[in-house]
Structure 1
Amino acid sequence: MIEKKEIGLEKAVLVGIVTKDQDEDKLKEYLDELEFLTYTAGGRAIKRFTQKMDMPNPKTFIGTGKMEDVKNFVEEHDISTAIFDDELSATQERNISKILGCKVLDRTNLILDIFAQRAQTSYARTQVELAQYEYLLPRLRGMWTHLERQRGGIGMRGPGETEIETDRRIVRDKIALLKDRIKTIDKQMAVQRGNRGKMVRVALVGYTNVGKSTLMNVISKSEVFAENKLFATLDTTVRKVVIQNLPFLLSDTVGFIRKLPTQLVESFKSTLDEVREADLLLHVVDISHPNFEEHIESVNKILGEIESNDKPTIMVFNKIDAYQAEPPIEENDLETERTNKYYSLEEWKKTWMGKVGNNALFISALNKQNLEDFKKRVYDEVRDIHITRFPYNHFLYPDYEEEESQ
């Protein structure tokens, strides 16, 4: 829980359930992430409500008694928003809103709201708007109190058509318009990518808030926006990077997240073309996060969905300076006790993480730890790709020479 009382943040309660597919530990992880999402969106989680259920209540998601507890707390503490960790149906959202008398959001709606706040370019805004309308379409019925009011209109709709049917038609037309707009921008971006020539392309991928933009800034010596919030970067940034005398293109892409709304995966697939067309992926992982293994799985799943999971990949374990747990114990040395909070790169390399395809690196982008190894590994990989593509240029790029320390 975020304990400090940030001024001006919307007060919210979080709601989740323990099921046969999601135990208490898993729910806590999801609610921790939901709280960070809430903070990123401009809210402050005051309290969490959880309940054990075989399956969600089809009418109110949680049981009647627990809903009464939530209602009482909302009224007593002047809570403005209730946020549910799983996607709510239109019926559930409508029923819960009537009972609680406050704004009701689910995880998908919250993520869409963050994306809407973070979108900077017209392309990102168009993608977010498309995802919002696709989320809205099946929920229109719950947003009206005048569902059956008949209203005619010249040139608007035929006799007997209801308000809700008209709104559905308007939303579908808007979705079609946005999809056409995205196709147009996609063609323009494809031309831009084509104009970059045959330079080797490297893409940073990873879970949200793992430090991709910070790493981009360090390597490319540019100023890509980065902060400790989820989805700080939505728009793909591409920079020309030169290590030693070897140039290549480095792109920073939108971060992934567990339970990523389907609408967002679909609408942002075009943004992820930078990943699809990359020659090399740098999969950045926040090793200080207690659930980083699940983050890796989530990223790999989405890479599979965009047919990019078979690309050459370097695992970049970032934030080694922020690691809080005890150091890993070497194999066959189970009796060793360690009390130090941090440990050496050699110790990191002896863990299972250091043996992932024999292609893992351990760095701190923020504190610039072990960046020389990182640059060398990237240089070697890009050089191999470049020489394969242009074999007559091999003499231009000698073996990596370590830079003298400043």
Structure 2
Amino acid sequence: MMETLVKMGQAGKQAARQLALLSTATKNQALIAMAQALEAQTTAILAANQADLQAAETMPAKFVDRLKLTPQRIADMAAGLRQVAQLADPVAKYDHGWVTKDGLQIMQRRVPLGVVGIIFEARPNVTVDATALTFKSGNAVILRGGKEAIQTNTCLVSILQHTLTAQGLPAAAVQLVEDTSHASAEAMMKLNDWIDVLIPRGGKGLIQRVVQTATVPVIETGAGNCHVYLDRQADEAMAVAIVVNAKVQRPSVCNAAEKLLLHREAAARLLPPVAKALLAHGVELRGDQRACQLVPEIKPATPADWDQEYNDLIMAVKVVDSLDEAIEHINRHSTHHSEAIITPELARGQAFQQQIDSACVYVNASTRFTDGSEFGFGAEIGISTQKLHARGPMGLAQLTTTKYEITGNGQVRG
């Protein structure tokens, strides 16, 4: 396995050197061609996806939803490729430039990371999103998806590689590790000579395994124990709409809300209508003692609930005595992904934004907006919950680093 990965890494390095020199026009033309190829091969992609779905009949519904492709989801992937083609090219952009006291001209230039490795689970859209962003930013990518999506991913990568070849570009710009064993993932985590950065996409277990095992530098992404806090004067209609959207629209994704907090002064007014709306959508509610007293349908929560990412129609509810208690609770239990406060009091909203230690902090909006497309980045490579290099939705700029280009005329240091 390691021998195969080394060969892939070598091919990726060679491809990355070529990609770093491509013009923006060439990259955009290739991205548009990829989009057209996906649309033209919709029937083949759906057939491959159906084979994966049949093999995944015993998987929980939330995982099947992530795995399943439809004509609309394929059209969305193609649209993502086109959107990335429209975005500004971060490569070869100069961030700063100055002349030192010794007459040296220093230019800080944005450059690709090189070869990006991505280990992910059952979301075939990651294959296309990752290809779009790494390619536009001048990086090669090595993808290692889960066994649940192997047929779909193999089909998608084949289409993308054939498109690149037809454009006279290296097929190794995007490669797929076809061995889906744990051994292949662990070997990839040790491929320091050939992979410049590793990005895990998936549940908390996968992400922590990569963070704890990899010797390749890792960008930690998005397990999402996300919170919505209804402050003392929160508007009822807004609270119901935002909480339902954040929990129900797509409960299996990392930016879905998992916890609901309410200020004690608003709990009796807001929890019954919010709970009614959630229960109508089939959400199971688990709460602390005060929440259970206000709504009989709420089941008692356990201490483990406050730290759990459900990725399902389940939500835990807690009544807090103050804004400070809400902030303290969220900072202690969140995965530092996305949190929201509903309040008409701007100063309290700003205090929440300033004191919450998460990548994305909302006032009067749903956590579901934490997404590269929604932020205007095109597709996203992931949502970083760490603080070094990148934080929040990662688009093109986050797939680059910088280097200094220094030009002199014979200077030596005295």
| TM-score, structure 2 as length reference | 0.25
Which structure has the higher relative contact order (CA within 8 Å, separation 6+)?
A: 2
Structure number with greater Rg is: 1
| TM-score, structure 1 as length reference | 0.25
